[in-house]
Structure formats: structure tokens, C-alpha cells
Amino acid sequence: MAEDVLKFIARELAELKEEGLYKDIYTLESPQGAWVTIKGEKVLNFCSNNYLGFAAHQDIKKAAKEAIDKLGVGPGAVRPIAGTMIVHDQLERELAEFKGVEAALVFQSGFNANLATIPALAGRGDTIISDELNHASIIDGSRLSRAQIKVYPHNDLQGLEKNLQEVEEGRKLIITDGVFSMDGDIAPLPGIVELAEKYGAMTLVDDAHGEGVLGRNGRGIVDHFGLHGRVDVEVGTFSKAFGVMGGCVAGTANLIEYLKQRSRPFTFSSALTVPDTAATLAAVRTLARSGELVEKLWSNADYFKKKIQVLGYDTGKSETPITPVMIGDAQTASHFSRRLLEEKIFAQAIGFPLVPRGKARIRVMISATHSKEDLDYALEKFERVGKELDLL
Ligand SMILES: Cc1ncc(COP(=O)(O)O)c(C=O)c1O
């Protein structure tokens, strides 16, 4: 009977709730922005990766609408069969220019970009050397590749070198997140690149949280460290600072040509929709024109981080606008988040498996859309709830 064979589902759901690891998924009744509406109430939004406010930006919405009028909505099928829409070509060209690489390729999501790229670069007999805190899409892409996977301690160059020394044959591919999404720290990319060059390894950096945030006008981690031409593959997403949906790979023209022939999500999954692609193109153009929003993002992040530390909170290793407010116990973090919502602050608790057990936190995502008054409002509520829960 279906009821019996599916019993484990109810049991596992109950366990998640008991452990405080059950994710409450809220419905937003407004566009993404500094304030959003949940259950009819306006709440201050600290949950979105909409770093620059592009998710509901006038020019970007306009670009999507105009593209729909001109080119319709859907891409028809996979690109090798149905063809590439002109807007994909434009985005790939301008994105490559923006990032200072020869070429770029658009995917349906950042997750898919990793699933596409990693197995195309490494396979049976090869070795992937991966930071222990890399994103789930890197882990899944690596598993799909059937290469041997070696995991090095987080951001530990000695650990990385030891792993590189142990590889005897096959291709070597080092993979790291650029900015780590749960802690907000930055990968030591110059050291990683040096080791890659020393041991003849390829490098792939997933810059999902670095694009629009790090580097000149948000050009990303490679630009931030001045490593142009020395990182083999940059994977990115359009769902965070670009405010839309989709993923990309940037690198040499040969790499992109190869991925068009060999990567499975490109060959077997339909292309990004027209409005998503046009909206992302408008986001890239907006950033190329001005770094103003990136500067606002950083000044907001610096302001909030300093003040919340003064209150007595630990923000871990964060070096970017991702600001974890460390709580520890998952139940307490969950309770904290619910209390914040009662105080009109939407800030999610993050627990296992997104972070190790015992390291639950409230992850505050700062945006350029927040005003100083918004941040002061939040600081006052964090202080009140922290005292109430004996955390301060
Ligand atoms: C490092 C990293 N890679 C990939 C992704 C997935 O991106 P997307 O939402 O476009 O699938 C994320 C998003 O959470 C991420 O943080």
C-alpha cells in the first residue's frame, strides 16, 4: 500500500520539526525589496539575495516587458535544436565584456551551470579538489562527474596543497565558492591560483555571491583580486545581485565552445526564457554604467555589521554583506527568527544541513535597497529580542 511505503516521509517531517530544522516557507504578497508584505503585514526584508534591488528595478522590468513584446516568452526548446534567441547572444557577449573574459554561456540557473560544467571538465580517472563548504550544486556536479572527489578544509591552502600532491594521474580540478553563502567569507583565490599553476590543475570559482558585490562595479571575485586570465572557469548566477534567474559560465572562447557541445544541461534542457535573459542583460548594463548601488550595498553592510557587533553579537568570519548572526542552537535560532517576524523583521534562521550542527544562525542579507533608518530599526529589534532570549 502506498500509505505504508510512504510512512517514512511523515516520520522524517516530524523529526525535522522536533529538531528545529523544519523550514517555514513564507508567501510574499509584494515584489522583492527592502520591505515585503507577508500575511498582509509589511516586514523588513533580510532574506533575499537581491543585493542591489534589481529584482524589481524599473529599467530591468521595462527591459523584460519590451523583450516579451519583441521576442515572446519561451525559447522553444534546447538551443542546439531550436536555436539561440538573439537576446541570449547579446547577454553572453556583454557579460563576457563586463567580466573581462573571451566568452560566456548562459544556463537556466547557477545550480545548472555547475551541473553542466563540472562533469564536462572532469570524469572517471580525474580528481576534483573541493572546499569543504562549497555549495550543494558543486557537490552534486562533482558527484555526477564520477571523478574522485577530495575535500580540503575550508579555505585552507595547506590542506589544498596536500591534496594536490596526492593526485598521481588524470586531470585535476580545484573548485571553490568565491564568497561562501552561509558565512560571507571570501576564498583565498590568489593562493588557490598559485597552487593550481604549480600543480597543473584547472580552477573553477563559483562567484554566485561575488557578482554585483565584489570587484569594480560588481565584476566579481576575479576582478576583486586582479586575477584576470588566471582563473579557468567562472560560474555565476543571475538570481542574486542581478535580481533575476539563470546562470552562466565565463572563460575562454574554447571553453565555451566545448560546453556548448558537451554539457548536458545545455544539450538536454531548454534555454533561459526571453524575459529572464533580457532582464539580466539590463542588469549587466546598469552595473557596467555605474557602481553607485554596489557602493551603497557596502556602506550599508559596514554600518550594520559594526553596530551589531557593538551590541555583542558574533558575526563569524563575514567579510561581505552576508552577515551571519551566530546563535548556535537550532531551536533558539528558529525561535529568534519567529520573534523577529513578530517585530516585523523577516530574517531566517539557518540550521543543519545548510550549516554544521550547533552553528545555527540568523543570516542577515544586507541590500542597497535598505535605508539607514531600516538598519537602525533592525538593530533595535535585534537588541530587544537578544536580551529577551538571554543572548546578550
Ligand atoms: C555558491 C552558489 N552556487 C550556486 C547557487 C545556485 O544558484 P541558482 O539560484 O541560480 O540556481 C547558489 C545559490 O544559492 C550559490 O550560493
Distance CA 94, CA 374 (A): 35
Residues 183 and 259 reside in one and the same domain: yes
State yes or no: is 269 an active-site residue: no
In order along the chain (392 residues), what is the average pLDDT of each group of 10 residues?
83 90 89 97 97 98 98 95 96 98 98 98 98 97 98 98 97 98 97 98 98 98 98 98 98 98 96 98 98 98 98 97 96 94 96 89 98 98 96 92
Q: Are residues 103 and 247 in the same domain?
A: yes
Residue 247 CB–ligand 1 contact under 6 Å:
yes
Mark whether 271 and 242 lie in a shared domain: yes
Q: According to the model, what pLDDT value does residue 187 have? A: 98
Question: Are 239 and 316 within one domain?
Answer: no
- Could you tell me the residue range of the domain that residue 214 belongs to? 57-289
Q: Residue length, the chain?
A: 392
Task: Using DSSP, state whether 280 is helix, strand or coil.
Answer: helix
- Measured in degrees and rounded to the nearest 5, phi and psi for residue 84 equal -95, 135
Of the candidates 263, 289, 315, which is a domain's last residue?
289
Clarify whether residues 204 and 68 are in a common domain. yes
* pLDDT the model gives residue 306: 98
How is residue 179 annotated by DSSP?
B
Same structural domain for residues 300 and 347?
yes
Please give the tally of structural domains in the chain: 2
Residue 314 neighbours by CB distance under 10 Å: 14
Residue 87, burial from CB neighbour count under 10 angstroms (0-12, 13-18, 19+)? buried
93: domain CATH number is 3.40.640.10
* Ligand 1 close to Cβ of residue 109 (< 6 A): yes
Determine whether 224 is an active site residue.
Answer: no
Q: pTM for the complete prediction?
A: 0.96
Q: Is 237 in the pocket of ligand 1 (CB under 6 A)?
A: yes
CATH code: domain of residue 48: 3.90.1150.10
Torsion of CA 156, 162, 163, 169, to 10 degrees: 150
In angstroms, rounded to a whole number, what is the distance separating the alpha carbons of residues 123 and 338?
Answer: 45
The alpha carbon of 111 and the centre of ligand 1 are apart by a number of angstroms equal to 5
Q: What are phi and psi of 368, to 5 degrees?
A: -65, -15
Report the b/e string of 77-86 with b at 16+ CB within 10 A.
eebeeeeebe
Question: Does residue 64 share a domain with residue 213?
Answer: yes
Report how far residue 364's alpha carbon sits from residue 225's, in angstroms, rounded to the nearest whole number: 25
Last residue of a domain, one of 268, 289, 310: 289
